[in-house]
């Protein structure tokens, strides 16, 4: 049994319209059961939570995803505003780095990118900006409803949107891994954006398709609702995804929006904030990789009974449709 390397942190967000917002997060990435190399990379540093999935089947996918994370980390380190313009310039820099690292290639190299940026500074009200290129996803659980905020850039999604296939057919479609947009493949890396108001009590997930290949939306919602902390939710989802096969690299960030209160204020003095509490975290026998550019790492073990229980719960959830997501994005897988 190997450990899952989980990185956790928190940040207090002063708000003019009311109580401060506390953002608490956890992130992890794992190679999975079938892959030899982890081509995923992620960055979880307020105000930016991003997952990049290097394209399997292309050369040096891990170079592409690492280039994106490196350039986004440089943007944060610079102290510049994480605006759309600065994000896109960072992605262009990553594309240049990919080309220099890989050199001429018939297939090229590329990566998906998806994430959430806090865009409250200077806005009329605090809000998030969700960005996406490719088929990695962002979900938000709020008031008992799970919504898929991003729309996949994939052949399967196009077929779904056109009504050519059903959601059930999409689950095992032979072109399930074919994406229509990526960072690094002969196009300007400009993401799709969605603006979402902050909602205290909401829980978010940013993930690569290695997670959504193994868990239905219903299963993801189940683990988010039954887990006390973001780290607990990661443990439950990774355990179930690996138990269901772990066919691809798996990366995810879970973060919560919490209103400030006396208990939280006592636990998280100062801005910015990072915190780490002992967590029971593990995965089945699968080699893992540390999350990139995160703040605090916590490691421990959990017994096999907990792993099997979580895996069975996900398997049970696989048979139940996610009506909330379908309502938000008809035809989305």
Q: What is the mean pLDDT of residues 280-287?
A: 37
Peptide bond into 47 cis (omega under 30): yes
211-216 mean pLDDT: 94
Residue 289 pLDDT exceeds 50: no
How does pLDDT run across 24-50, given as a tens digit for each residue? 999 999 999 999 999 999 999 999 999
Per-residue confidence (pLDDT) for residue 159, from 0 to 100: 67
Cα angle 322, 324, 328 (rounded to 5 degrees) comes to: 120
pLDDT, averaged across the chain = 77
User: 323: how many CB neighbours lie within 10 A of its CB?
Assistant: 12
Q: Where are the beta strands (DSSP E) in 134-211?
A: 137-142, 145-148, 192-197, 203-207
Give this prediction's pTM. 0.77
Residue 160: the pLDDT is: 59
pLDDT at 16: 72
Return the bridge partners of 133, or none: 113
Does residue 84 register a pLDDT over 90? yes
Report for 147-156, 199-208, 274-283, 293-302: range of highest mean pLDDT: 199-208
CA–CA distance from 106 to each of 57, 102, 185 (Å)? 12, 11, 11
Q: In this predicted structure, what is the pLDDT of residue 311?
A: 42
Of 290, 296, 293, whose CA–CA distance to 28 is shortest? 290
Yes or no: say if 170 and 164 are a contact pair by the CB < 8 Å rule: no
More confident residue, 189 or 330: 189
* 93-142 pLDDT per residue, tens: 999 998 888 765 556 689 999 999 998 754 556 899 999 999 999 999 99
State how far the Cα of 215 lies from the Cα of 213, in Å rounded to an integer. Answer: 6
Task: Indicate whether 201 pLDDT > 70.
Answer: yes
Percentage above 70 pLDDT, the chain: 65
Asked if residue 232 has pLDDT above 50, the reply is yes
Res. 317: pLDDT tops 60: no
Distance between CA 42 and CA 234 in Å, rounded?
A: 14
pLDDT of the residue at 318: 37
pLDDT of residue 306: 40
**Domain 6-328, CATH 3.30.1490.190 — does that match?**
no
In order, the DSSP letters of 54-107 are B-TTSTTHHHHHHHHHHHHHHHHHHT----HHHHHHHHHHHHHHHHHHH-S-SS
């Amino acid at each position: 049994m190997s450990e899952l390397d989980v990185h956790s942190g928190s940040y207090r967000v002063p708000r003019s319209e009311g109580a401060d917002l506390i953002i608490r997060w956890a992130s992890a990435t794992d190679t999975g059961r079938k892959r030899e190399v982890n081509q995923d990379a992620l960055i979880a540093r307020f105000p930016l939570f991003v997952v990049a999935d290097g394209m399997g089947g292309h050369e040096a996918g891990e170079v592409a995803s690492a280039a994106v994370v490196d350039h986004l980390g440089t943007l944060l380190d610079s102290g510049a505003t994480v605006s759309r313009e600065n994000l896109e310039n960072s992605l262009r820099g990553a594309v240049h780095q990919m080309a220099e690292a890989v050199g001429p290639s018939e297939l090229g190299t590329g990566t998906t990118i998806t994430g959430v940026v806090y865009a409250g500074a200077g806005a009329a009200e605090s809000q998030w900006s969700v960005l996406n290129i490719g088929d990695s996803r962002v979900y938000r659980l709020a008031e008992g409803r799970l919504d898929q905020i991003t729309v996949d850039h994939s052949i399967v999604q196009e077929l779904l949107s056109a009504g050519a296939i059903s959601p059930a057919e999409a689950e095992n479609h032979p072109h399930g891994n074919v994406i229509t947009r990526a960072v690094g493949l002969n196009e300007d890396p400009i993401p799709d954006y969605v603006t979402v108001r902050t909602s205290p009590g909401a829980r978010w997930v940013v993930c690569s398709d290695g997670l959504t290949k193994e868990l239905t939306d219903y299963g993801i919602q189940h683990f988010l609702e039954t887990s006390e902390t973001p780290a607990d939710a990661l443990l439950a989802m990774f355990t179930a995804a690996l138990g269901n096969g772990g066919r691809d690299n798996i990366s995810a960030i879970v973060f919560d929006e919490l209103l400030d209160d006396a208990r939280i204020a006592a636990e998280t003095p100062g801005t910015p904030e990072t915190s780490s509490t002992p967590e029971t975290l593990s995965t089945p026998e699968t080699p893992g990789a540390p999350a990139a550019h995160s703040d605090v790492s916590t490691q421990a073990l959990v017994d096999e009974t907990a792993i099997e229980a979580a895996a069975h719960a996900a398997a049970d959830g696989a048979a139940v449709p996610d009506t909330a997501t379908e309502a938000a994005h008809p035809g989305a897988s």
